[in-house]
Amino acid sequence: MNSTIVWMIIGMGVVTYLPRLLPFVLLGGVELPSFWQGVLKNVPYAVLGALIIPDVFFIQDDFWFGVIGFAAAVITAWLGANVMIVVLAAVAALSLYSLFV
């Protein structure tokens, strides 16, 4: 193995692990003010919004690819399907779409 690459990997590993680890160490037994507890409880929903949009519309050069996958997932999820079914439905819809393009 090339030692520069190995050092790069180690460096990447350290800067990836630190943000994942530090809150558990720093906030371990700390009782945050209720406003900030509320903010942290909001984070999952806010993060999901940002993780989905706008990236989902740009997974391929073809804009419609993202739109159709997005729509298939939203519709099946809205109908109450569980996460696995939502994933499979979106993949199936796009497989079908790529047959026709």
Q: Which of residues 35-74 bind other proteins (CB under 8 A)?
A: 35, 37-56, 59-60, 65-66, 69-70, 72-74
CB of residue 63 to other proteins, shortest distance in Å: 13
Helices 83-100, 63-78: crossing angle, 10 deg rounding: 150
Binders of other proteins: how many residues, by CB under 8 A? 74
Q: Does 100 bind other proteins (CB under 8 A)?
A: no
Q: Exactly one of 7, 33, 63, 64 binds other proteins (CB under 8 A); which one?
A: 7
Q: How far is the CB of 35 from other proteins (least distance, A)?
A: 6
Binding residue for other proteins (CB under 8 A) from 33, 63, 64, 83?
Answer: 83
Q: Give the pair of three-digit tokens for residue 87.
A: 């994933």
How far is the C-alpha of 94 from the C-alpha of 63, rounded, in Å?
12
Phi-psi region of 24 (alpha: psi -120 to 50; beta: other; left: phi over 0): alpha
Residues 6+ apart with CB under 8 A from 87: 73
For the bound state, the minimum distance from the C-beta of residue 73 to other proteins, rounded and expressed in Å, comes to 4
